[in-house]
């Protein structure tokens, strides 16, 4: 069953999932590991392009009006034009690109590389944001905004791939995910 | 067990009686004004105004202390990172160099850099209270009707409302699944090894998504059965007509926004430069 109403409810759920995941922190030693990127990746992989993009737009909008839905419980317009704004807008690009590249029949490798491209786009936009909004040099933006996150994000991408494959197997019966 | 960072708390008073739409417009315009300007005088004015409004709303500290601490931490982190990567930025902006502390290498401290970082911090502490106020004094159900009132299509506005309702549900579901798994022997606390913890938390994601998809199906079917979306317009149970105070609030927001534009011209840029 696909309908216009489903096309509205699905992004609402997607945004809620990302918002809830952004607030969850799993303690791995002394490094807080939020599930924000993981949730964005899952939404981008499982949803079709329209619903994926709408989910992110909805999420960004809620954060813009002050709801504490961004990582660490922050929010407000400040986050959307502050130093880390590039990453938030990058998530939107991530969702658009990855959902366009992935289909329910994609192989695990295709899913991983689609998410890798999406995540890389997030980092590129994040770096641009740091350069123009926080007045950093390119090297400084890379060192502070990209380098520390490469390994953790590769791990998250692997997890996204695993979860997406597991989920898409069992979601074949759902009309939307065919 | 609900992981409730913040939410609506019922109450009486001026701010609770304002329409959500006027509060939203005020929040957006004041935030934009505050974020785009670096004129200390305007930022201070908005900050003081937001503190006064906070007092009027009788917000209890324990309701918001967690969020305040969290945001303060991130604001501090932001200031530190900006300084570490651009310790000379203040000089470039204000065109003067008054060294307060020689430091080591490029990490010296000037009055100009300090003033810039002060403005940066002030922005956080001026806009965050406004955002918190909006959340604390606006009923979530009124949120969607407010959006529709300011021109957002009602279907989009309703999607926002749905998301707001889903967030605590997703959180609740997550904790319920986690506790169920732990009751069946899954160890997720610090006692377990790192890899086991990662694996364990992943086992929560699958049932979480399935139960959420089930909810999506149920909700969208129920909405269709109630003929959602069949007409171009709809009425709102939680609608509030604009009162005189709402119009005054919107006028004040427009004034603040205009002030930031005028100061932009007056200062020949975004920055108020006491060294000019």
Question: Concatenated DSSP letters for A50-66?
Answer: HHHHHHHHHHHHHHHTT
B6 touches chain A (CB under 8 A): yes
Are residue B110 and residue B247 in the same domain, yes or no? Answer: yes
By C-alpha distance, the chain A residue nearest B192 is A28
Domain CATH number, residue A118: 1.10.1760.20
For chain B, what is the domain count? 2
Average pLDDT, rounded, for chain B:
76
Tell me whether residue B272 is in a domain: no
Using the beta-carbon criterion (under 8 Å), do B215 and A13 form an inter-chain contact?
yes
B33 touches chain A (CB under 8 A): no
Are residue B177 and residue B255 in the same domain, yes or no? Answer: no
Are residue B183 and residue B65 in the same domain, yes or no? Answer: no
A163 touches chain B (CB under 8 A): yes
Residue with tokens 């100061």: B263
Distance from CA of A175 to the nearest CA of B (A): 11
- Which of residues B92 and B247 earns the better pLDDT score? B247
Q: Residue A165 belongs to what domain range?
A: 3-174
CA distance B85 to B74: 16
Q: What interhelical angle do B154-183 and B140-149 show, nearest 10? A: 150
Question: How confident is residue B76, by pLDDT bands cut at 50, 70 and 90?
Answer: confident
Residue range A106-140, pLDDT digits in tens: 788 898 989 898 989 888 988 888 787 776 778 87
CA distance B239 to B246: 14
CA distance B153 to B133: 25
Which of A56, A66, A130 to mutate to probe the B interface, most B CBs <10 Å? A66
**ipTM entry:** 0.79
> What pLDDT is stored for residue B252 in this prediction?
84
Say if residue B78's pLDDT is above 80: no
Using the beta-carbon criterion (under 8 Å), do A16 and B170 form an inter-chain contact?
yes
Best-predicted range by mean pLDDT among A2-6, B86-90, B250-254? B250-254
Interface A-B, measured as beta-carbon pairs within 8 A, has a size of 164
Tell me whether residue B275 is in a domain: no
A69 touches chain B (CB under 8 A): yes
Tell me whether residue B93 is in a domain: yes
Are residue B99 and residue B178 in the same domain, yes or no? Answer: no
Are residue B129 and residue B22 in the same domain, yes or no? Answer: yes
Residues of B within 8 A of A65 (CB-CB) are 24, 27-28, 131, 134
Q: End-to-end CA distance of chain B, in Å? A: 56
A25: enclosing H helix or E strand: strand A25-28
Using the beta-carbon criterion (under 8 Å), do B127 and A77 form an inter-chain contact?
yes
Residue range B4-62, pLDDT digits in tens: 445 665 666 767 667 788 888 888 788 888 877 778 878 888 888 887 887 677 776 66
Tell me whether residue B150 is in a domain: yes
> What pLDDT is stored for residue B70 in this prediction?
61
Tell me whether residue B43 is in a domain: yes
A6 touches chain B (CB under 8 A): yes
Residues of B within 8 A of A162 (CB-CB) are 202
Phi then psi for residue B37, to 5 deg, are -95, 155
Q: Of A34, A14, A16, which is closest to residue B167 (Cα–Cα)?
A: A16
> What pLDDT is stored for residue A93 in this prediction?
94
> What pLDDT is stored for residue B167 in this prediction?
81
Q: What average pLDDT does the segment B234-263 reach? A: 82
> What pLDDT is stored for residue A172 in this prediction?
63
**Parts of chain A with a pLDDT under 50:** 1, 30-31
By C-alpha distance, the chain A residue nearest B136 is A67
Long-range contacts of B219-228 (CB under 8 A, 24+ apart): B219/A9, B219/B162, B220/A3, B220/A5, B220/A6, B220/A8, B220/A9, B220/A10, B221/A1, B223/A5, B223/A9, B224/A3, B224/A5, B228/A5, B228/B158
Are residue B134 and residue B157 in the same domain, yes or no? Answer: no
Touching B: A residues 96-135, CB under 8 Å: 134-135
Residue range B113-135, pLDDT digits in tens: 778 888 878 777 777 777 777 77
- Which of residues B276 and B145 earns the better pLDDT score? B145
For chain A, what is the domain count? 1
Q: What average pLDDT does the segment B150-159 reach? A: 82
Tell me whether residue B10 is in a domain: no
Residue with tokens 């929040």: B27
Q: Residue B38 belongs to what domain range?
A: 16-139+243-267
Are residue B29 and residue B132 in the same domain, yes or no? Answer: yes
Point out the residue among A26, A61, A65 whose CB comes nearest to the CB of B201: A26
Are residue B121 and residue B256 in the same domain, yes or no? Answer: yes
Are residue B74 and residue B21 in the same domain, yes or no? Answer: yes
Are residue B180 and residue B104 in the same domain, yes or no? Answer: no
């Amino acid at each position: 069953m696909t309908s216009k109403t489903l096309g509205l409810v699905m992004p609402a759920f997607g945004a809620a999932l990302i918002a809830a995941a952004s607030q969850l922190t799993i303690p791995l030693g002394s490094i807080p590991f939020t599930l924000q990127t993981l949730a964005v990746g899952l939404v981008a992989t499982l949803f079709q392009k329209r619903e994926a993009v709408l989910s992110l737009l909805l999420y960004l909008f809620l954060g813009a009006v002050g709801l504490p839905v961004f990582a660490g419980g922050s929010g407000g317009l400040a986050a959307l034009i502050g130093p880390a704004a590039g990453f938030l807008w990058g998530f939107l690009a991530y969702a658009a690109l990855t959902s366009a590249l992935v289909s329910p029949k994609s192989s695990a490798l295709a899913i991983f590389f689609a998410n890798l491209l999406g995540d890389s786009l997030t980092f590129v936009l994040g770096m641009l944001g740091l350069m123009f909004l926080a007045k950093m040099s390119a090297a400084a933006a890379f060192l502070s905004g990209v380098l520390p996150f490469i390994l953790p994000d590769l791990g998250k991408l692997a997890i996204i791939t695993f979860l997406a494959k597991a989920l898409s197997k069992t979601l074949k019966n759902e009309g939307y995910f065919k | 067990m609900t992981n409730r960072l913040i939410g609506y708390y019922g109450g009486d008073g001026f701010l609770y009686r304002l329409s959500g739409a006027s509060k939203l417009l005020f929040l957006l315009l004041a935030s934009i004004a505050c974020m785009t300007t670096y004129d200390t005088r305007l930022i201070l004015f908005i900050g003081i105004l937001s503190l006064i409004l906070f007092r009027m709303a009788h917000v209890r500290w324990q309701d918001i202390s967690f969020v305040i601490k969290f945001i303060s931490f991130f604001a501090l982190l932001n200031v530190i990172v900006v300084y570490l990567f651009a310790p000379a930025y203040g000089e470039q902006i204000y065109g003067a160099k008054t060294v307060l502390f020689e430091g080591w290498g490029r990490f010296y401290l000037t009055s100009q850099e300090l003033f810039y970082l002060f403005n940066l911090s002030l922005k956080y502490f001026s806009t965050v209270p406004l955002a918190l106020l909006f959340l604390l004094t606006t009923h979530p159900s009124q949120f969607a009707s407010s959006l529709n009132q300011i021109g957002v299509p009602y279907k989009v506005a309703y999607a926002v409302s749905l998301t707001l309702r889903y967030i605590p549900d997703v959180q609740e579901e997550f904790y319920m699944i986690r506790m169920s798994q732990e009751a069946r022997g899954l160890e997720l606390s610090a006692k377990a090894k790192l890899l086991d913890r990662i694996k364990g938390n992943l086992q929560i994601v699958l049932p979480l998504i399935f139960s959420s998809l089930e909810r999506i199906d149920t909700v969208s079917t129920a909405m269709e059965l109630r003929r959602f979306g069949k007409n171009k317009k709809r009425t709102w149970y939680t609608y509030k007509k604009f009162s005189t105070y709402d119009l005054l609030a919107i006028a004040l927001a427009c004034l603040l926004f205009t002030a930031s534009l005028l100061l932009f011209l007056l200062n020949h840029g975004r920055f108020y430069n006491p060294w000019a």
